[in-house]
Chains A and B, each alone.
Chain A
């Protein structure tokens, strides 16, 4: 299993950013997927998750209404559209494999992509 995140970088407060995760080594459309973030020196925070067929999605209270998760099973890719970014969103964002069911345990993690929010 390999999960490779991209799309991170430096962005000004209030702007948008779109993260991508390219998956390989497993049958992508059999698994739920998640985004988890970790601010520098801080703990882990689940950000968002999506079921294998995109019918179920979930968001942390801190990002609901600003972030949108999506997936393209044909391209084996996961996305996170992040709008109205604030300094509190600055973190390393991990792409994480879920299980066949939305509530199953998480599987392998990517190495993360860093999002820096600063003016």
Chain B
């Protein structure tokens, strides 16, 4: 199984909104709502920011939102802040009983 497809990098200015896509297939994203997003700062463990496509864990800013259309999930960060500069990963459950991560997207705040 290949990794889910994410853009390698996305950038935006403070205050702007950016969207990161995560493309999968009918065997993962298209078939399940078990899609999560993680934020990872350098040398830190990943942090869950979205689960089951659209839900935010307690304590996560409402500036982070998730959605899904067909085989593609998306993460939108609104009101971009300097601390949002990090790597972001999507992950989906699959029909084979496994999990697939995306390749990761580096977000740069200009």
List the interface of chain A (C-beta within 8 A of B): 34, 36, 43-46, 49, 56, 58-61, 94, 102-107, 109-112
B97→A44 contact, CB < 8 A? no
B45→A44 contact, CB < 8 A? no
B51 at the interface (CB under 8 A from A): yes
7 contacts between A and B (CB under 8 A): A43-B3, A43-B101, A44-B101, A44-B104, A45-B101, A58-B99, A103-B34
From 64 to 110 in chain B, residues with beta carbon under 8 angstroms from any chain A beta carbon are 87, 89, 91, 93, 96-104
Q: How far is the CA of A102 from the CA of B99 in the complex (A)?
A: 10
State whether A106 and B101 are in contact (beta carbons under 8 Å apart), knowing that A43-B89, A61-B1 are contacts in the complex.
no
Q: Which 8 A-B pairs have the closest CB atoms?
A: A105-B51, A43-B104, A46-B99, A109-B45, A58-B97, A44-B101, A58-B98, A103-B93
B103→A43 contact, CB < 8 A? yes
Instruction: Report the minimal beta-carbon distance from B53 to chain A, rounded to whole angstroms.
Output: 10
B99→A49 contact, CB < 8 A? yes
Q: How far is the CA of A118 from the CA of B21 in the complex (A)?
A: 36
Q: How far is the CA of A57 from the CA of B80 in the complex (A)?
A: 39
List the interface of chain B (C-beta within 8 A of A): 1, 3, 32, 34, 36, 38, 40, 45-46, 48, 51-52, 87, 89, 91, 93, 96-104
A111→B45 contact, CB < 8 A? yes
A58→B45 contact, CB < 8 A? no
Contacts of B1 in A (CB 8 A): 60-61
State whether A105 and B36 are in contact (beta carbons under 8 Å apart), knowing that A43-B89, A44-B89, A112-B45 are contacts in the complex.
yes
Q: How far is the CA of A38 from the CA of B89 in the complex (A)?
A: 12
